[in-house]
A and B are shown apart, each in its own frame.
Chain A
Amino acid sequence: EDQVTQSPEALRLQEGESSSLNCSYTVSGLRGLFWYRQDPGKGPEFLFTLYSAGEEKEKERLKATLTKKESFLHITAPKPEDSATYLCAVRDYNNNDMRFGAGTRLTVKP
């Protein structure tokens, strides 16, 4: 069965303090790995899609990377407005539905 595990559950950073969020996954055949950002009371906002090991994508202070077993979301010099829950999801070739991790709740203090 597909498994998606995100760590840490919660992360508190000072403004400017770079860090990484982890997403470990188990699928029979990866059709895509997705990162979303979710603010309280709102729907998830799409950030990145990664298709194959070695792929990297960047957007402002965020950079997502992918290996055969995990993905990292690197946050460089974060700002308070980066505070949110970051969700990782995978789509498997065998099951077309998206399987989400529990998320990492990021808080960036000024």
Chain B
Amino acid sequence: KAGVTQTPRYLIKTRGQQVTLSCSPISGHRSVSWYQQTPGQGLQFLFEYFSETQRNKGNFPGRFSGRQFSNSRSEMNVSTLELGDSALYLCASSKTGTGIGNTIYFGEGSWLTVV
């Protein structure tokens, strides 16, 4: 069974540019969530999508946005990139995202470097 797939794995962008990251969840999983991981802040929740609707959102500025498609694939977009946006961006999927102990499974992440 294929795991969570994220593309691209590595990318370098310039300040002020925008970036789109893609995530394909595990087959049958309808919830996709996104996280930012940095050495200083650890793993921080960005947002969660379920059935093409954003169901939950973390404490990040509006430059961070996402969407989910009817096949459950998801994209996240960061506009007007800042140096501090350099991080590992992780996508995770779960069957429903809610319910007692619903487990999320992570992809390998997309490494974003902003120069």
Residues in chain A within 8 A of chain B (CB atoms) = 31-32, 34, 36, 41-46, 49-51, 87, 89, 91, 95-103
Contact = CB atoms under 8 A, between A and B. Distances in A.
B109 A42 contact: yes
A31 B97 CA distance: 12
Contacts, number: 60
A31 B48 contact: no
A103 B45 CA distance: 15
A96 B97 CA distance: 8
A32 B102 CA distance: 8
Q: Dominant SS at the B interface?
A: strand
Contact of A43 (B98, B101, B106): B106
A12 B56 CA distance: 38
A7 to B, nearest CB: 14
Given A34-B104, A43-B107, A51-B101, 11 more contacts: A32-B100, A32-B101, A34-B103, A43-B6, A43-B108, A46-B103, A89-B43, A96-B56, A96-B97, A97-B58, A100-B35
A49 B42 contact: no
A96 B111 CA distance: 26
Given A31-B101, A32-B101, A96-B56, A45 B106 contact: yes
Contacts of B103: 32, 34, 46, 49
18 contacts: A31-B100, A32-B100, A34-B104, A36-B106, A42-B108, A43-B4, A43-B107, A44-B90, A46-B104, A51-B100, A51-B101, A87-B43, A95-B56, A96-B97, A96-B98, A97-B56, A101-B42, A102-B42
